[in-house]
Structure 1
Amino acid sequence: MTTHSTDAPPQGRPRQKNFRKTILVMLTAAMVINYMDRSALAVAMPFITEDFHLTDVEKGLIFSSFSVGYALFNFLGGVLSDKFGAKKVFVWAMVFWSAMCGLTAGAFNFWTLLAARALFGVGEGPISTTANKMVNNWFPLRERARSVGINQAGGPLGGALSGPVVGFLALTFGWRVAFVLIALIGLTWALIWRIVATDNPRDNKRVSAREIEEIEATESAEAVAVEEVATGEKPSMWKAILQPAILATALSLFCYNYILFFFLTWFPVYLVDAQGVSLRDMSIVTAIPWIVGAAGYLGGGFLIDYIFTRTGKQFFSRKVVLVTCLITSAVCVGVTSTASSATSAVILMTVAVGFLMLAAPAYWTLIQDAAPKEYVGSAGGLMHGLANISGIVAPTVTGFIVTTSNYSGAFVLAGALGVLGAVIVWIFVRHQKTHGIDVPTAPPVDSIPNGTNMDHAK
């Protein structure tokens, strides 16, 4: 288990309160850019289809090609962040995917668009695992779920921006211009991140000694328990990450992501093809579920932390939010199959996405709880990589269902998988022993004596 240095922080640090908030703002901005770039293709697809004369199956394959590279580099990005640090991996990833986003504008047929999309997925693969590792490094335990929620809320916010921004640019200047401009935004972020970020608070001259003490004084009960009985031998990466709880969480996240990728890639097309929504209106109304989803991400993180601080049950706080919200989302997705109008479809999917995002922070905090600190990136990468195989499956399967039947079957399948994902967590994700140690839960906030360092986390 990695330990923090006991040496005093360097002298002369500026008295800057909560610099970790700056890190969180940057992480959130990165997620906004990530989803804005990622969902741009779905918004631009009706325009691209006119240029390239794509079939439904070809569109499904293009949407799926993103996840071939994405799923692989979910895991590799996590491993690299453990080895080289999340800061460097984030810079590499942002620069590469922004370049691929810009090069999408140069596609001239099905095959070039397929290749550009697959390489784009390679670049975006590490983002969530490296962000999760940065949160684990920079935030006290009682702030982690809300920090994950705020960071990940940037995703649906980026999706919300993508509709009107990409739609406006595509209608005004052509779809190729949209991809070039959002690529430039990503490159600008990478430059700023390289200047302000460090992998750990102790390495950053902008972080005060008091903030370092506050962060390090609230290590998780799991980390403390492992430290107290450690043999001095570092556990192997594979032993640390191939735990039943991590694998079951990954399988559940596969089901969760099936809904997400179905919505991300096919819902805009469904509104145009099945409900007769105009391209202009589609680019606006598809922003609504994303805005609600951003609020859901924020609410999920704060809700988890609230339940944890009131009950002291770290594991329970994650599990109850995940299961309840995922089932609610799945039901709404399934019912959308009966929607008789574009308005009812958008309302149902808005509720579905809101509850889907409420559940999301629980996945990343479950991984932080289950994995040793030095392998949080690798464990998150394994979970995310296995789960994002759904990004290959969902768009392709949906394309075949739409071609051979209709959209109703696609909605029902996505909803059924959501219910399955919730059941997997409820039954198979249980309180685990870490390296043979029963991990205690932390006490409720109200039971922490005054005057301790825990007071800073209230």
Structure 2
Amino acid sequence: MFKNLRWIIVLLLFMVYMINYLDRVALSLTLPLIEKDLMLNAEEFGLIFSSFFFGYAIFNFVGGLATDKYGPTLVLGVAVGLWSLFCGFTALATGFWSMLILRVLFGMAEGPICASANKAINGWFPKKQAATAMGFLSAGSPLGGAVAGPIIGYLALAFGWRPAFMIICSIGLVWMVFWFFLSADNPLKSRRVSEAERALILQMKEEQAASEESEATQSSYGLGHYLRQPVILVTAFAFFCYNYILFFFLSWFPAYLVQAHNLDIKSMSYTTMIPWIVGFVGLALGGWISDKIFNITGRLLLSRKIVLVVSLLAAAICVALAGSVKGVYPAVILMSVSIFFLYITGAIYWAIVQDVVHKSRVGGISGFIHLVGSLSGIIGPYVTGVIVQQTGKFDSAFVLAGGVAALGAMLVLFVIRSPKGPAAKAVSV
């Protein structure tokens, strides 16, 4: 019996977000070695980075629908097992096409992660704590990115890039075992929940049900209803803008440090820790800040909107400036500040889904938003690769990333309004 199993579930999700980014960042960190070994150029690597998101984007949505149907325990457990294997299979790549295919498969397996995590939190936590829980577990992403630098750097230099991918494959497989042992789609039916926590969860569910008006009507809404709501569409586009900066940073910032500032792999691996660490702090704080603003204002959507607009705009300005400064330290500082503000918004997109979408549709709508956001991963890394290949510099790519994020902030500011229907009262701006 576990006295606080719901927070153990959050801890497990925090850990899998770490593993997710450890696996995902491994390719960009080992790029100089793979580039030489497989004789690939910047444009080809841009396509390889983008190929991950073809599979990823599709299975964001498919995974969300599967989560609504089969539950987050099964879907996430299977997804982690598969992506770990495909990550390990990267060690078998022999050239451009084999690497491309493996990245597509890897992306497909990672697709369900956010929708599954959001669905799990929806089952274990009331709305007033959802953003805090999502903020904490999502903070695993930048922490995973931070530890990836020294871990992958050491493994690649000590054993070679191929053994490095095989070793990190095993981490996800171990996590999968713990997840299937501890997780449950319905906490009230789990034998591992203590009686005290069972009573607490039951009380929260009853209070939540009592506060939701026209529950039967809301549950009858299909995906089409929610996909017509401006709040969902703009949130999805804002997540696209968020991901444009994130995937630009994740895919190309290590190579930028090596090519533009002449860092070796060891120095680059440790330098990339800095933005990820401050991003970890930002992501852990974002949901908490939004929940505090809600406690003050009593207006859920307004609390989400304030955090999105201010933080996304600050991230846009900093990333736009980062590519034009001289010296590695100003570049890393500006990129770190950008990632800090960017990650403050990280839990807010999913908190909005929790706020305005009925629990029966949380997985599907989360998957849709994640799909739209992942399209930036198809576009951004390839566009950056073309810019670098054609100009030999990164300046324009940094400015473009900032411009995209600024557009997202403006749309949130001027377009997001309360959704139509019974949910509108609870989340009014």
Class of the TM-score when normalised by the shorter of the 2 chains: over 0.9
Number of aligned residues = 427
Paired residues for 1:2-401 under 5 Å: 14=1, 16-218=2-204, 224=210, 227-228=213-214, 230-231=216-217, 234-401=220-387
Match of 1:430 among 417, 421, 428: 417
2:316–2:403 Cα contact (<8 Å) kept = yes
TM-score of the two chains, using structure 1 as the length reference? 0.90
Query: How far apart are 1:229 and its partner, in Å?
Result: 6.3
Query: How far apart are 1:231 and its partner, in Å?
Result: 4.9
> Which is richer in helix?
2
1:240–1:372 Cα contact (<8 Å) kept = no
Query: Deviations along 1:69-112, whole A, 9 cap, x unmatched?
Result: 00000001110000000000011100110010010000011111
Match of 2:408 among 415, 421, 426: 421
What percentage of residue pairs aligned between the two structures are identical?
44
Query: How far apart are 1:422 and its partner, in Å?
Result: 0.7
1:40 and 1:314 mapped to 2: Cα distance? 37
1:256 and 1:222 mapped to 2: Cα distance? 30
Q: Cα–Cα, structure 1 residues 403 and 221, in superposed 2: closer, same or farther, change >3 Å?
A: farther
Q: 1:455 maps to which residue?
A: none
1:149–1:300 Cα contact (<8 Å) kept = yes
1:223–1:373 Cα contact (<8 Å) kept = no
Q: Cα–Cα, structure 1 residues 229 and 176, in superposed 2: closer, same or farther, change >3 Å?
A: closer
1:376 and 1:343 mapped to 2: Cα distance? 42
Higher Cα Rg: structure 1 or 2?
1
Query: How far apart are 1:18 and its partner, in Å?
Result: 2.1
Unmatched runs of 5 consecutive residues or more in structure 2? none
1:98 and 1:274 mapped to 2: Cα distance? 32
1:221 and 1:335 mapped to 2: Cα distance? 48
Query: How far apart are 1:216 and its partner, in Å?
Result: 4.3
Letter in 2 for 1:259: I
1:376 and 1:236 mapped to 2: Cα distance? 11
> Aligned to 1:389, what secondary structure does the other structure show?
helix
1:86–1:131 Cα contact (<8 Å) kept = yes
2:418–2:427 Cα contact (<8 Å) kept = no
> Aligned to 1:338, what secondary structure does the other structure show?
coil
1:348 and 1:261 mapped to 2: Cα distance? 16
2:226–2:232 Cα contact (<8 Å) kept = no
1:141–1:220 Cα contact (<8 Å) kept = no
Query: Deviations along 1:387-441, whole A, 9 cap, x unmatched?
Result: 110000000000111122221100000001111111111111111123x554235
1:303 and 1:333 mapped to 2: Cα distance? 23
Q: 1:445 maps to which residue?
A: none
> Aligned to 1:360, what secondary structure does the other structure show?
coil
Q: Cα–Cα, structure 1 residues 246 and 438, in superposed 2: closer, same or farther, change >3 Å?
A: closer
Query: How far apart are 1:215 and its partner, in Å?
Result: 3.1
1:241–1:375 Cα contact (<8 Å) kept = no
1:258 and 1:224 mapped to 2: Cα distance? 40
1:311 and 1:86 mapped to 2: Cα distance? 33
2:225 and 2:175 mapped to 1: Cα distance? 36
Q: 2:397 maps to which residue?
A: 410
Query: How far apart are 1:248 and its partner, in Å?
Result: 1.2
> Aligned to 2:30, what secondary structure does the other structure show?
helix
1:108 and 1:120 mapped to 2: Cα distance? 16
Letter in 2 for 1:425: V
Query: How far apart are 1:335 and its partner, in Å?
Result: 0.8
Q: Cα–Cα, structure 1 residues 373 and 315, in superposed 2: closer, same or farther, change >3 Å?
A: same
Letter in 1 for 2:119: K
1:369 and 1:441 mapped to 2: Cα distance? 7
